[in-house]
Chains A and B, each alone.
Chain A
Amino acid sequence: MTTNQPDPRSWTVRLRTRLARTVPAGQLLPDRQPAYVRSWIYVFGVASLAAFVYVIASGLVLSLKGSAWWHTSSAGHFVNSTHLWSVELFFMFMVIHLWGKFFMAAWRGRRALTWITGAVAFIGSVGTAFTGYLSQSNFDSQWTAGQAKDGLNAVGIGSVFNVLNTGQMLLWHVMLLPLVLGVLIVLHIVLVRRHGVVPPFDAIPPDRDHAEVTGPPGADDALSPEPVAPVLR
């Protein structure tokens, strides 16, 4: 006898269930936000994302014509300029976003991984931008490589990550690091959508019946395994 019931042993069903659990229905693209989300500081997360899109887009155009194009073509130089300035904006927005989240202690309520993915994405962005400077094939690249090799060699990294090897740096810059960064950013956004925007300190939902606590107390409740019992007031 056949049945339309999903087979719980199916890997596809398991993956679907896992994905549905990760971001509950309606939370991936909600059309409402908590009422306390009412500040300009919240704009800088999406501004960082928008700048990242321009960084990738301008980088893709530069890739189309090859690494030396921007030295010889005014159009190429302009695209390089948009690449540079979108990177500068990306970092500016990201730093403001980061400080905003720090002042909110946005890791509260089991959001530690959200903070960590954001922090690692920031560090990864620094590395990606750095390899960009090494890949420019101009005076800046020469000098930056000559200086940076000493720091990297001093801690043994230079033997596998050779900043004087332009081919290696270019591939890290256009492929490896953006890929890792893209995955981190997607993960970060999924976690933001999963947990929602962190509430203000000590805020209590007006509906007492739903005053559920999602982690251990205060600013220390960054990574609680399970929600604890509702608060009775």
Chain B
Amino acid sequence: MSATARSRRSKATRDAHLFPTRPYDLVKEFVVAMLVVGILTVLLAVVFSSPDRKAVTLAAWAKAAPNDVVATATAELAGTSTSAGYGPPYNHAAPGQNLGPLRLQRLGGVRIPIDSANDLVISPLSAVTGDAALSVALRTWRSASDVQRTTWAGHYADALAAVADGDPAKVAAGTYGPVPILANRLMSLARSGSLEGLLTSGGTFYSSDETKPLLLLTDGTYLEEQARADHLGGDQWGMMNETGNYPGQPWMWLYTFWYQVKPFSTSTNADALVWGLMAALTLIFTFVPFVPGLRSLPRHLGVHRLIWRQRP
């Protein structure tokens, strides 16, 4: 045997069962752990409780920020909202993000098809009866060409952006077609509390899918304003925080961290880049035992001397 082989072999890990033993009551240890953790859990629950800020309903949104609802409805009709220009999995409006040459977002396909103008605005409004002006507006919208629709909605969106608070009452006269009525009626529908049901029912009695109302809500600015006020913004470590002074998900600190630093914080491709990086780091973490250098690091760090103070 060579000297090197002998040296390496002398460093090999021996079978744990060959070392001297001492009495160790595993069951007692588990029972004590259960008691201690149980007491800690109940104490923390009693002292700190848990956060439960109510969900923002579409009615609450319409009452608190009606102009935001009108602006969002207009953006859906103009095709300029976030969801309208999102790309997969909702539509083909954009290629989506990529990881180098890998166009993973496109690869996922359009599996949750959403036509923002029709699904989030026109379709729920079509369920309203007894509103002659709305019926005319819907007929006008449906009979117009795509170019005409986009022109109307685009002009109205610009007009809303030009007035203080985006107040529709202050908008100057213009060629907006039926868009002002459609946007106004969607706001009224939301305020009445009927919009959620119209967006989630999808022709079925039961619903557990909030994709459409959440897309509409996140297309507006109200939800984000509320979240930012509660330190939940993307650049406020929002993914790991939760409402109030609660710990949230601190175990997601590394994932959230990348969004706070360049190039991720300024990249339009940030999500794909962060996910790619985290996937690589996760693989390294999982397969540490096989990563040269990293697997030997603990021996050199010496922290193990605090754990094993006496040599067996």
Q: Contact: A39 with B13, CB < 8 Å?
A: no
Q: Contact: B29 with A43, CB < 8 Å?
A: yes
| A191 within 8 A of partner (CB) | no
A139 in complex: contacting residue of B16, B54, B312, CB < 8 Å:
B54
With a cutoff of 8 Å between Cβ atoms, the chain B residues found around residue A80 in the complex are: 50, 52
| B40 within 8 A of partner (CB) | yes
With a cutoff of 8 Å between Cβ atoms, the chain A residues found around residue B131 in the complex are: none
Encode contact with A along B33-45: 1 for CB under 8 Å, 0 otherwise.
1101110111011
With a cutoff of 8 Å between Cβ atoms, the chain A residues found around residue B181 in the complex are: none
Q: Contact: A78 with B97, CB < 8 Å?
A: no
Q: Contact: A220 with B295, CB < 8 Å?
A: yes
| A144 within 8 A of partner (CB) | yes
Q: Contact: A162 with B112, CB < 8 Å?
A: yes
How long is the Cα–Cα vector from A53 to B34 in the complex, in angstroms? 8
By the criterion of a CB under 8 Å from any partner CB, how many residues of chain A are at the interface? 119
By the criterion of a CB under 8 Å from any partner CB, how many residues of chain B are at the interface? 109
How long is the Cα–Cα vector from A28 to B68 in the complex, in angstroms? 62
Most buried by B among A33, A138, A156: A156
How long is the Cα–Cα vector from A78 to B106 in the complex, in angstroms? 44
| A56 within 8 A of partner (CB) | no
Encode contact with B along A135-172: 1 for CB under 8 Å, 0 otherwise.
01111111111111011011111111010111110100
Most buried by A among B41, B209, B239: B41
| B296 within 8 A of partner (CB) | yes
Q: Contact: B249 with A133, CB < 8 Å?
A: yes
With a cutoff of 8 Å between Cβ atoms, the chain B residues found around residue A166 in the complex are: 208-210
Encode contact with A along B207-235: 1 for CB under 8 Å, 0 otherwise.
01111001101100001001100101010
| B250 within 8 A of partner (CB) | yes
With a cutoff of 8 Å between Cβ atoms, the chain A residues found around residue B22 in the complex are: 32-35, 37-38
How long is the Cα–Cα vector from A165 to B90 in the complex, in angstroms? 13
Q: Contact: B208 with A196, CB < 8 Å?
A: no
Q: Contact: B299 with A197, CB < 8 Å?
A: no
Q: Contact: B9 with A217, CB < 8 Å?
A: yes
| B298 within 8 A of partner (CB) | yes
Q: Contact: A153 with B295, CB < 8 Å?
A: no
The segment out of B134-142, B172-180, B184-192, B303-311 that lies at the interface is B303-311
Q: Contact: A147 with B234, CB < 8 Å?
A: yes
Q: Contact: A85 with B44, CB < 8 Å?
A: yes
Residues of A within 8 A of B (CB): 27, 29-39, 41, 43, 46-47, 49-51, 53-54, 58, 70-71, 77-78, 80-86, 88-89, 91, 93, 95, 100, 102-105, 107-109, 111-112, 115-116, 119-120, 123, 125-126, 129-130, 133, 136-148, 150-151, 153-160, 162, 164-168, 170, 195-207, 210-223, 227-228, 231, 233
Q: Which 5 pairs show the lowest CB-CB distances between chains A and B?
A: A167-B208, A156-B108, A196-B16, A222-B289, A109-B13
